[in-house]
Amino acid sequence: MGAKIEAIAYYYPKNTLTNQDLKELYPGYDFQRFEEKVGIKTRYIADEYETALDLAYQASLSLFERIDKDRIDFILYCTQSPEYIIPSTACLLQKRLDFGSHVGAFDFNLGCSGFVYGISMAKAFINSGQAKNVLLVTTDTYSKYVHPHDRSSRSIFGDGAAATLVTSSEVEQIFTFKFGTDGEGHDKLIIRNGATRHKYDQNAEEHHYGRGNVYTDNNLYMNGPEVFRFTSSVIPPFVEKVLAENNMRKKDIDQYVFHQANAYMLNQMRRTLGIDASKFYIDLANGGNTVSSTIPIALKNYSDNCMHKQQETVLICGFGVGLSWAGGVITLDKGI
């Protein structure tokens, strides 16, 4: 028994944050240059009382406009924006979607590598005969973690969710995956307060970094230069290993779809790998960095708008918070 990605749907909140909006908030910063370099024009921001679960629910409903929801027998729910510490948000989604009690469901806490990990897990459940139709949901609302005066993070991150149906297939369309972890770099992207190690601090001290950015230990902190150094040094040789593991060469891949972190970083890795721009999909302008959902959103947009063949061989690679990374090869159908 094989597995394949049958369908993807995604959902953005209704509120937008454009570069013009940010320019009015931070008049001393050149957002035209930012747009040209990083590639982001618009982000979508959840309402105050709108959660990642709400976005996940809407993405799932969009998916069910095209597929029969009663087919689902397992939910994989990837988020770093849980509804509660306890219980698992996957259980709440099962209830909200009115699935039967036979449906398995659990959360896993990963960021930018989460979709790739999730595809591999869904494949494992299907190949082992434990499930036939897995709903993989990726959803995050990082905007709720960003300090209002952290221009750097507000410029990059947006909120969103994607719902992906991974189903059994007579022909295998999800191939070999590889993974990597470096917990030594856990503090490069971190929210220090609010869990069991450090409680939320109502009087947390403000820290300044970069060019006028502000955060507290209650907020998301990203060490941009260190994250860039990590991706530049680790990901290109890792992609070479993913290719080797699948007995493929670069020319065998029709399209490369990486985590959409920022265009400058992506193009640096593309040049290091020697991949032509026409085979390296960048999809940042509308939505920005939606963490675990950037790859499924990009796959959906590429499949709907850019594919020349009915099927293409695509290498997907996610990397970021953890530090964590993952990559693999899939066969992508047109119009998923």
- Residue found by looking up tokens 């029709």 in the block: 254
Q: Is the pLDDT of residue 1 over 90?
A: no
Look up 259 and say whether it is catalytic: yes
User: What would the pLDDT profile of 240-270 be if each residue is shown by its tens digit?
Assistant: 999 999 999 999 999 999 999 999 999 999 9
Q: Which pLDDT belongs to residue 47?
A: 97
Mean pLDDT score of the chain: 97
Of the candidates 132, 122, 11, 141, the residue with the CA atom closest to the CA atom of residue 82: 141
Q: Which pLDDT belongs to residue 28?
A: 87
Question: What is the DSSP secondary-structure string of 221-246?
Answer: EE-HHHHHHHHHHHHHHHHHHHHHHT
Q: Is the pLDDT of residue 50 over 90?
A: yes
Q: What is the mean pLDDT of residues 290-306?
A: 98
> How distant, in Å, are the alpha carbons of 169, 193, 208, 255 from that of 153?
40, 18, 13, 29
Residues 135 and 192 sit within 8 Å (Cβ to Cβ): no
Q: Is the pLDDT of residue 197 over 90?
A: yes
Q: Which pLDDT belongs to residue 267?
A: 97
> How distant, in Å, are the alpha carbons of 85, 136, 255, 281, 291 from that of 116?
24, 10, 16, 16, 12
Q: Is the pLDDT of residue 149 over 90?
A: yes
Residue environment code for 136-173, b if the CB has 16+ CB neighbours within 10 A, otherwise e:
bbbbbbbbbbbbeebbbbbbbbbbbbbbbbbbbbeeeb
What does pTM read for this prediction? Answer: 0.96
CA angle (146, 184, 220) in 5-degree steps: 5
Give the total residue count for the chain: 336
Q: What is the mean pLDDT of residues 102-106?
A: 98
Of the candidates 115, 113, 46, the residue with the CA atom closest to the CA atom of residue 77: 115
Domain boundaries, the chain: 2-172, 176-333
- CATH superfamily of the 2-172 domain: Thiolase/Chalcone synthase (3.40.47.10)
In the chain, alpha helices (H): 19-25, 31-38, 52-63, 89-96, 114-127, 151-156, 224-245, 263-273, 294-305
Q: Of 19, 112, 133, 213, which one is the catalytic site residue?
A: 112
Query: Helix, strand or coil for residue 69?
Result: helix
Q: Which residues contact 228 (CB under 8 A, 6 or more apart)?
A: 265, 268
Q: Of 78, 213, 246, 259, which one is the catalytic site residue?
A: 259
Residues 148 and 213 sit within 8 Å (Cβ to Cβ): no
| Percentage, residues of the chain above pLDDT 70 | 100
**Separation CA 239–CA 246 (nearest Å):** 11
Same fold, 2-172 and 176-333: yes
CA angle (14, 85, 121) in 5-degree steps: 80
Q: Of 147, 262, 289, 317, which one is the catalytic site residue?
A: 289
Which letter does DSSP use for residue 274 in this model? T
Which letter does DSSP use for residue 141 in this model? -
**Separation CA 278–CA 281 (nearest Å):** 7
Q: 213-215 and 207-209: which strand pairing?
A: antiparallel
Look up 193 and say whether it is catalytic: no
Q: Is the pLDDT of residue 287 over 90?
A: yes
Look up 149 and say whether it is catalytic: no
Write the class of the CATH domain 176-333. Answer: alpha beta
